[in-house]
Each structure stands twice: as structure tokens, then as C-alpha cells.
């Protein structure tokens, strides 16, 4: 197994790309939320989609840059499936924290992302960008 395939190296690369993606995601989320505070779930969706579009490209070419088992088209479909699962998980957790716990939407989103990021890394490594 080459160094590029080690979990530690990938986790570090994932962290770098993830920081860029989360920043994009959170900026879009914040902009929508500041403009319309009542639509925090729509803001969540907007942020997740914006971050995901950037994330697919960066993860394919940097985080998981080894020779990959599947082509870009199949990876994109798999990535979208992971994204839909992440959006569902993120939306459910965000709703729970805001509506049931009465947490601030900005703070709740950060807590939600902590869970979603770990799930996304594992699914990306084991399924979307699987080594050849």
C-alpha cells in the first residue's frame, strides 16, 4: 500500500479539502440565513449543495488522487448518493437541535457538520473513491 493510500494521509488531505468545502458551505448557509432567518433548513440545503460541487472536484483530484476503480461519471453518481444521505442526516440533526433543543441555528450547524464530516469521509474512502 502506497503512502497516498494510507488513512492518515487521506485524513490529512480530507481535512485540508474539507476546510475549504466547509468554508464554502458555511458561507452560503450564513448568507441565506442572515437574509432570511426562518429558512434555516433551506439555507442548510443551499450550503450543502454549494460545498458538494466544490468538494467533488477537490476530493477526486487531491484527497483520493490515486488510480481509482471507477470513472468520474460513476463516482459523481455515488457522490450524489452520499450527498443526499448527508443532507438528510444534516437536516434531521439541524432540525432536532434548533426545534427541540432550541439551539441557535449557526451553532447547531457546526455541531451537525462535525457528525456529517466523519460519515462523509468514511463513505468517500470506502465507496465513492475506492482504490482500483
Question: Domain segments of the chain: what residues?
Answer: 3-128
The 10s digit of each residue's pLDDT in 23-54 is 999 999 999 999 999 999 999 999 999 999 99
> In angstroms, rounded to a whole number, what is the distance separating the alpha carbons of residues 111 and 94?
8
**Do the beta carbons of residue 131 and residue 68 sit within 8 Å?**
yes
> In angstroms, rounded to a whole number, what is the distance separating the alpha carbons of residues 15 and 9?
10
**Do the beta carbons of residue 42 and residue 76 sit within 8 Å?**
no
> In angstroms, rounded to a whole number, what is the distance separating the alpha carbons of residues 68 and 47?
28
> In angstroms, rounded to a whole number, what is the distance separating the alpha carbons of residues 60 and 67?
10
Q: Give percent of the chain with pLDDT exceeding 70.
A: 88
Q: What is the pTM for the complete model shown?
A: 0.77
Which residues neighbour 60 within 8 Å (Cβ) at sequence distance 6 or greater? 68, 72, 75, 129
Amino acid at each position: 500500500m502506497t503512502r497516498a493510500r494510507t488513512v492518515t494521509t487521506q485524513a490529512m488531505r480530507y481535512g485540508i479539502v474539507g476546510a475549504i468545502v466547509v468554508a464554502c458551505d458555511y458561507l452560503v448557509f450564513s448568507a441565506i440565513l442572515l437574509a432570511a432567518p426562518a429558512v434555516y433548513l433551506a439555507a442548510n440545503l443551499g450550503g450543502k449543495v454549494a460545498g458538494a460541487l466544490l468538494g467533488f472536484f477537490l476530493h477526486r483530484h487531491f484527497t483520493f488522487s490515486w488510480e481509482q476503480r471507477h470513472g468520474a461519471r460513476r463516482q459523481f453518481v455515488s457522490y450524489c448518493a452520499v450527498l443526499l444521505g448527508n443532507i438528510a442526516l444534516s437536516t434531521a440533526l439541524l432540525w432536532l437541535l434548533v426545534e427541540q433543543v432550541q439551539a441557535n441555528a449557526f451553532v447547531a450547524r457546526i455541531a451537525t457538520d462535525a457528525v456529517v464530516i466523519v460519515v462523509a469521509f468514511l463513505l468517500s474512502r470506502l465507496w465513492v473513491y475506492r482504490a482500483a
